[in-house]
Amino acid sequence: MPKITPFAAVRPTRDKAALVTSRSYDDYSAAELAAQLDFNPFSFLHVLHPGYVNVQKNDPTKRFGQVRSKYTDFKSEGILKKETQPILYLYEMQSKSRSYTGIIAGVSIQDYLDGKIKKHEDTLEYRVEQFEEYLHITGFNTEPVLIAYPENKTLSDWISQTKSRRPLYLFSSPNRDRHTLWRIKEPAQIEWLQSEFAKIPSLYIADGHHRSASAALLYERDKDTGNANLSNFMALLVSEEQVKINEYNRVIRDLNGLNESEFLKKVSASFDIRNLGQELWKPTHKGEFGMYLNGNFYALKPLNQTSTVDAQLLYDELLAPILGIGDLRNDGRIEYIPGNQPLTKLVEWVDSDEFEVGFTLFPIAFQEIRELADRDEILPPKSTYIEPKIRSGLVIYEL
């Protein structure tokens, strides 16, 4: 049965938690990133993006070395501190529309390899290898894998009771989300939680397939070094009803040598097409697709239900045979936009000179994800954009 493990985390001092933690630096525009780095010397973005003016000019090995060096500086300056003993955490994030609560723990890479922690989505090979190298050089990870467990009243009652205790951190981030963190350090509490999770047949990766795959790759690479921390990776474990699933939309750089008329004719052989003009439109049901091409939106409905998974159906019926998209894990002609971004983002990308056509999908339900994972079936990469997302620098797992 799946095993959870306490670990000696590195984290901000209590007085600096709100200043240190950040969104992932990929979420910031260039202007936002510059402002954070210029005016907040405690931001973890200084670690993730050291020497931000020139860092992108450096090769990955040198860049990851700079991350490691800046991380060491933050520890030596007392901005970050390490726990004196292995513990667990309870984390809550409250936004204007939702609230999420989960347990932060180490989970076993062997459980992941044995299929007790189940995956549902394929990965992009270059990203797995790149992040494995990042972990190897930097020696830490601050983005836990989001793992879902079936609804569990016993754990829910324990979480409600624990939230009545005085937290370690309670702060608001600039986007007005509220973040609370409690330490779970009592041995009896840790053992009880371990025994409760041991009763759960399977856990499911909701978000973080690349991070978990990279951790497993690093484990295989360095497991003979005697570093016990490599045997686990950090996870945020949440009840599956708290998982918020958005789709990932697709944009393609060209029409595979076709002009617009030829492309639409080929699409119409496999899909019923409705031209919606300039109306901003996204699918409202499973089995529908939106398409944006040359200033117009189209609603697509497949003529043949060749797959029950929308992302796979779109690939099988359109992306591969018509647009010539090959290996989704490595093809440079396709990019992905998370579904929590406004539809105008896709319009902006397609209207630029870089992309020719965009596709929108309907979000998959978690029940479908669980059923696919139980059958050992894998979704195409970038099929789901899942929340919650924990802030970088809040809890750090050292390798």
Query: pLDDT per residue over 321-366, tens digit each?
Result: 999 998 887 788 999 999 988 999 999 999 998 999 999 999 998 8
**Per-residue confidence at 187, pLDDT binned at 50, 70, 90?**
very high
Q: Is 255 helix (H, G, I), strand (E, B) or coil?
A: coil
pLDDT band with cut points at 50, 70 and 90 for residue 127:
confident
Query: Is 256 strand, coil or helix?
Result: coil
DSSP 14-69: GGGHHHH-B--GGGS-HHHHHHHHHH-TT-THHHHSTTTTTGGGS-HHHHHHHHHH
pLDDT above 90: residue 34: no
345's tokens: 């983002």
Q: Of how many residues is the chain composed?
A: 399
214-252: burial string, b at 16+ Cβ within 10 Å, e else: bbbbbbeeeeeeeeebbebbbbbbbbbebbbbbbbbbbb
Q: How many helices (H) and strands (E) does the chain have?
A: 13, 20
* 253 and 226 fall within a common domain: no
Answer whether residue 320 shows pLDDT above 50: yes
Q: What is the CATH number of the domain that holds 162?
A: 3.90.1530.10
pLDDT at residue 17 greater than cutoff 50: yes
The arithmetic mean of pLDDT across residues 24-38, rounded, is 81
pLDDT band at 23 (very low <50, low <70, confident <90, very high): confident
pLDDT value at residue 3: 93
Give the DSSP letter of residue 180: E
Domain presence at residue 22: yes
Q: Are 169 and 258 in contact (CB under 8 A)?
A: no
61/72 same-domain check: yes
Q: Which residues of 369-380 are buried (b: 16+ CB within 10 A; e: fewer)?
A: bbebbeeeebbb
Q: Is residue 375 domain-resident?
A: no
Residue where the block lists tokens 């596709």 = 359
For 274-289, the pLDDT digits (tens) are 999 999 999 999 999 9
Q: Are residue 294 and residue 154 in the same domain, yes or no?
A: no
Residues 257 and 187 in one domain: no
Q: Could you tell me where the beta strands, DSSP code E, fall in the chain?
A: 4-5, 10-12, 80-82, 88-94, 99-108, 117-118, 140-141, 145-149, 169-172, 178-184, 203-207, 232-239, 244-252, 271-277, 289-293, 296-302, 334-338, 357-360, 384-387, 397-398
Query: Residue 74 has what pLDDT?
Result: 97
Cβ-proximal residues to 371 (8 Å cutoff; 6+ apart), any chain: none
Q: How many domains does the chain have?
A: 2
In a domain, 374, yes or no: no
**26 & 49 share domain:** yes
| Model pTM score | 0.85
36 and 90 in a single domain? The answer is yes
Closest by Cα among 298, 277, 275 to 357: 298
pLDDT at residue number 166: 96
pLDDT category at 53 given cuts 50, 70, 90 is: very low
- For the segment 65-92, the average pLDDT, to the nearest whole number, is 96
Query: Which pLDDT score is estimated for 340?
Result: 87
- Domain assignment present for residue 67? The answer is yes
Within-domain flag for 56: yes
Cα separations (Å) of 129 from 86, 134, 136, 211, 255? 29, 9, 11, 10, 30
Residues 220 and 77 in one domain: yes
The reply to whether 370 falls in a domain is no
Q: Does the structure show a pLDDT above 60 at 52? A: no
* Per-residue pLDDT tens over the stretch 58-68: 678 888 999 99
Same domain, 285 and 347: yes
CA distance 331 to 326: 6
Residue 373 lies in a domain: no
What percentage of the chain's residues is helix, strand, coil (to nearest 5)?
A: 35, 25, 35
pLDDT at 58: 62
- Based on the domain organization, do 228 and 303 belong to the same domain? no
Average of pLDDT values for 232-253? 94
Q: What range defines the domain where residue 361 resides?
A: 245-365+380-385
Q: Are 8 and 61 found together in one domain? A: yes
* Closest to 220 measured CA to CA, from 110, 315, 145, 138: 110
For residues 236 and 222, give the distance between their C-alpha atoms in angstroms, rounded to a whole number: 24
Identify the three-state secondary structure at position 194. Answer: helix
Confidence of residue 33 (pLDDT cuts 50, 70, 90): confident
Q: Band of the pLDDT at 13, cuts 50, 70, 90?
A: very high
Question: Is pLDDT of 96 > 50?
Answer: yes
| 271 pLDDT higher than 90 | yes
Q: What is the mean pLDDT of residues 217-240?
A: 92
Residue 371 lies in a domain: no
Residues 211 and 290 grouped into a single domain? no
One domain, residues 28 and 121 = yes
Give the model's pLDDT for residue 376. 87
Q: Does residue 66 contact residue 50 with C-beta atoms inside 8 Å?
A: yes
Q: For residue 157, how many other CB atoms are within 10 A of its CB?
A: 10
Mean pLDDT across the chain? 91
